[in-house]
Amino acid sequence: MQLSYYPGCTLKTNAKNFEKSALAVLKHLGVSVDELADWYCCGVCFSQTQDNLMQQIAPVRTLVKAKESGNQQLLALCAMCYNTLKRSIEFIKDDAEKLQTIHQFMDLETTQFYGNEVDVVDILTLIKQIGLEKLKKSIVKTEFGLKIASYYGCMLLRPKELAIDSADDPVIMEEILASAGCENVYFPFRTECCGSYQIVNEPDIVKDRAKKIVGSAIKNGADLMVMLCPLCYFNLDEVQKDIQKEDKSFQTIPVLYITQVLALLMGLKPDIHDFSLHSIDPRPVLKMKGLL
């Protein structure tokens, strides 16, 4: 299986541990990904305006590069990138007028893009495509009793048109983790918004959200939380320290990318994890469970 890969900005900086672990897991599963030779910021938040095509140019330019790469599938690891690229395709495909306007604004791109040539895929769907049986066979560490709370956030589930699973009751992360031998913890806040970019101007909203989401995961007995979005990750990992400063009774829980857990279970080198990037150190829990 060969596919193109779009990292996006944050996977090269704050979320290096996500990129490294995800690519290592895929390599271990026999999938090779080619990073696009040239890519641009996707714009992070999909513009929901009907009348402003300028905001679609950034994702479309990346999609043109993906088409030029020759691979039909484009892997977007970051949930925000996945959402923006996918919604951009939905917005412009089969609309000749919009496509023509967008092409008029792109000087460097000579390849014509129609919207249906590139299929944006997230890593969970990709792992299911590869096969849960294959995943099961690749796991070397068993009998460790790790209880994991999977947090989906918004961007992989909403709007419904691009949801990777049920928008109300998704199970794809739990299915993957169960195949890898983990015990799943279901908690009510797993599909709720973490406050997203409000961390910049209204951090109190994010603190409120993080307190509820993390608190609910802990109450349901989770050892750690896993997710796929670098913004959710920041809001739920970094903000826990701030909450604890204000509320001494607040318990913390380590937050990891799901691919870090899979990499550990596959016995891949721990140095790909960059544990120094975590605000809540996951190493004590991982050592206690025999994963490190």
* Interface ranges with other proteins (CB under 8 A): 8-10, 13-15, 41, 43-45, 47-52, 55, 78, 80, 154, 157-160, 167-168, 192-193, 195-205, 208-209, 230-231, 234, 238
Between 137 and 241, name the residue whose CB sits nearer to other proteins.
241
Residue located via tokens 């944006």:
120
Between 1 and 54, name the residue whose CB sits nearer to other proteins.
54
Task: Round to whole Å and give the CA distance between 22 and 261.
Answer: 10
Q: How far is the CB of 194 from other proteins (least distance, A)?
A: 9
Between 72 and 279, name the residue whose CB sits nearer to other proteins.
279
Q: How far is the CB of 265 from other proteins (least distance, A)?
A: 26
Task: Round to whole Å and give the CA distance between 141 and 285.
Answer: 15
Q: How far is the CB of 195 from other proteins (least distance, A)?
A: 6
Between 51 and 143, name the residue whose CB sits nearer to other proteins.
51
Q: How far is the CB of 153 from other proteins (least distance, A)?
A: 8
Residue 210 structure tokens: 């993080």
Q: How far is the CB of 231 from other proteins (least distance, A)?
A: 5
Q: How far is the CB of 9 from other proteins (least distance, A)?
A: 4
Residue 87 structure tokens: 């919604």
Task: Round to whole Å and give the CA distance between 259 and 135.
Answer: 12
Outline where the chain has alpha helix (H). 16-28, 57-68, 79-92, 96-105, 123-130, 132-138, 172-179, 198-201, 203-219, 230-246, 258-265, 283-288
The answer to whether 176 and 259 have CB atoms below 8 angstroms apart is no
The β-bridge partners of 35 are 5
Between 69 and 83, name the residue whose CB sits nearer to other proteins.
83
Residue 14 structure tokens: 């704050």
> What is the CB neighbour count within 10 angstroms for residue 127?
26
Task: Round to whole Å and give the CA distance between 229 and 258.
Answer: 10
Between 79 and 177, name the residue whose CB sits nearer to other proteins.
79
